[in-house]
A and B are shown apart, each in its own frame.
Chain A
Amino acid sequence: MIALWMYLLVAAALFCIGIYGVLSRRNAVSILMSIELMLNAVNINLVAFWRYLTPQNMGGQAFTAFVFVIAAAEAAVGLAIIISVYRNRKSVIVEDVNLLKW
């Protein structure tokens, strides 16, 4: 059977790809997509640890379900904010949204 560390390694790689995307992209929508990648890496870790360490205790799967809820809420509100910003400033480049920058 696949060992636990292989799942963790794939999840760590996915998380680091997400971090790179969040830090390096200029378009707000691609930053949001990178955040989804990071949430998915967390989900892989939660389910892998649940399967290998406590397969009869539902904590891991329940937390993964809550992460789904958070991700859906975050995507809905985030995209609404992006559309609102685009309507007001005609841009989705995060560097152009500097109204609060001192």
Chain B
Amino acid sequence: MITINAQSIAFILFSLFILGGGLGVVTTRNLIHGALYLILSLFGVAGFFVLLSAPFLAAVQVLVYIGAIAILIIFAVMLTRSMTSLTEAFNRQWWLAGLVGGLLFIFLAAGIILPVWGASSAYAGQPVSDVVATTTDLGIALVDGNQYVLPFEVASLLLTAAMIGAIVIARDDE
């Protein structure tokens, strides 16, 4: 079904990064290790973006997620260090959570695979076109008055508000 070439090997490798990192995040007791697994998973997602010909998003993924959010999480883990490995990692409903996650995955997998089951490989989920919009088009779309300029400005306002709010919440009152 999958022809062996550089692209499929990269896909399998990045899938292993993503799913292995994700499983590490939810199972490991040590939160620093969890944050490192999270970085592995985020890096795999960046690789997927490259495979899907979205290089700008891959760069933003590395800069924002790995460079900012993962480091922020490591900071938070260190600031709350005394709690990290003293207590039980999972709550009492962990088996119920596993059941919910597993059942949801079964339903989602059925919904994804059944529509393409038995379809010829030439048809099953190939891109409609190999002509792909470039990063320039993304930049134009984000500031074009007819497309996404209003959500873009609202997003920048949201970021400003979130940063000010984070400072106010985390500040020591004394």
Contacts and interface: CB of A to CB of B under 8 A. Distances in A.
A19 B104 contact: yes
Contact of B80 (A20, A29, A64, A77): A29
A65 B63 CA distance: 13
Interface residues of A, number: 74
B129 to A, nearest CB: 5
Contact of B159 (A23, A52, A73): A73
B142 A65 contact: yes
Contacts of A57: 133
A26 B76 contact: no
A58 B133 contact: yes
A6 B127 contact: no
A96 to B, nearest CB: 10
A72 B147 CA distance: 23
Nearest to B125: A4
Contacts of B80: 29, 82-83, 86, 92
Interface string B73-96: 101110110011001111101101
Contact-residue bracket for chain B: 35 or more
Contacts, number: 265
Interface string A56-99: 11100110111011111111110111111011000111010000
A77 B64 CA distance: 15
A1 B131 CA distance: 15
Contacts of B108: 12, 15-16
Given A5-B125, A25-B91, A65 B162 contact: no
A13 to B, nearest CB: 6
B98 to A, nearest CB: 6
Contacts of B64: 68, 71-72
B26 A17 contact: yes
Given A44-B48, A83-B76, A56 B133 contact: yes
B162 to A, nearest CB: 3
B45 A40 contact: yes
Given A55-B133, A56-B133, A61 B54 contact: yes
